Amino acid sequence: MPLTVPQQISIGALCALYTSNELESGTRHGGVIDPKLPHLIYAVNQGLKWLYELDTTDSDLVPIGNYLISICRQQFRAQGVLALNNGGTVAPITPNNPPPNDIDFIVSSTSLIPTGDTEIYLDGTGGPDLRGYDIDFFRGSQVQYTTPQQGGAAYYSWNNVTGLLRLLPTVGGQALVDEPMRISPKTGGGATVVPTQEYPIVITSADFEADGVTYLNSLIVGDQLFLLANNVPNPALFAPTDFVYVSGGIEIILSAFNANVFDYTIVINKIN
């Protein structure tokens, strides 16, 4: 998609600055940048800016804009900065009301999250309504993460639109009797938090479930994967011949594969 004139003007403004910086650095080190270039970029950019202010449809905007971009040495750096800082419209932030108080409880058969459960809807149905808030979640005074840590799994997921708090992994993450828990609502809610998985993931035998063949990670659900593993006949593993997708993760179906017996290191990559 071609750059718009306002985008060209923004890029020109930053490129003049960056080129001046580069020139200063290059001069010290015997650089070869045309010393006029920052001023030239500024001059051309100013002409483009004036023309655009006077007539947004003037046919001269195209050749002048193209010329400006052609002399912008650091166009892509400028574009990157603009994309980060000003790539779109930022909706005004409505100040939040103070968040609700922390919710502390000891897991029991009658607690907010009963013994053995792995999820709860905090949507006001028979309990607190934390929809619209981000949260911090603690188990036994330990902060829990929504993204895998050090090759392990995520500890919980939180959907601040539906209010669904899910303890992870779904097998093994159940609330334990007498376990202290804290749900700490924060301001800054309002946006849907969708945890995403970064690839590749490196896992070891220790990351497998008790059956020695199942790896659970809700963040990989729905992704099309391929695996690279050691200690197997063919290191490249594909579904459905070498592994299959199961609820909450994957199961290796290679004969003789057993993470309880062998030490594996597996790199999980995403295809789609």
Partner 1 sequence: MAIVENFTATQALGFPSQIAFTDTSTGSDGAIASRRIYLVDYSGNYIVEDGTSTDYEVWAYADATITLDLLEIDMALYITVQWLNSGGGVLYEKTELTLFRLYSITYYIYLIKTQSSNIKLRENANFYLNEIRLLCSMQEAYDAVYYAGDIASAQAALTRAKQLVDNPSYFF
Binding site for partner 1 (CB under 8 A): 36, 39-40, 43-44, 46-48, 50-51, 54-55, 58, 60, 63-64, 66-67, 71
Tokens standing for residue 40:
């030239």
| Least distance (Å) between residue 46 CB and partner 1 | 6
Q: Which is nearer to partner 1, 65 or 169 (CB)?
A: 65
Minimum distance from CB of 99 to partner 1 (Å)? 43
CA distance 19 to 80: 15
Which of 6/116 has CB closer to partner 1?
6
Residue 224 CB, shortest distance to partner 1, in Å, is: 48
DSSP H or E segment with residue 17 = helix 5-28
* Nearest distance from C-beta of residue 79 to partner 1, angstroms: 20
Q: φ, ψ for residue 209 (rounded to 5)?
A: -70, 180
Q: Secondary structure of the chain: what % helix, strand, coil (to 5)?
A: 25, 20, 50
Task: Return the HEC string of 49-69.
Answer: HHHHHHCCCCCCHHHHHHHHH
Residue nearer to partner 1 on the CB measure, 64 or 203: 64
Q: How far is the CB of 28 from partner 1 (least distance, A)?
A: 24
Burial 27-38 (b: 16+ CB within 10 A, else e): eeeeeebeeebb
Considering beta carbons, is residue 40 or 253 the nearer one to partner 1?
40
**What CA–CA distance (Å, rounded) separates 72 from 62?**
15
DSSP 70: H
Give min distance, CB of 35 to partner 1, in A.
Answer: 11
Sign of torsion over alpha carbons 237, 238, 239, 242:
negative
Q: Which is nearer to partner 1, 2 or 180 (CB)?
A: 2
Give the Cα separation of 16 and 237 in Å (integer).
51
The least CB distance from residue 56 to partner 1, in Å, is 10
- Residues 6 or more apart in contact with residue 255 via CB below 8 angstroms: none
Closer residue to partner 1, CB minimum distance, 15 or 64: 64
| Residue from 223, 243, 240, 221 nearest 232 by CA | 243
Pick the closer one to partner 1 by CB: 46 or 108: 46
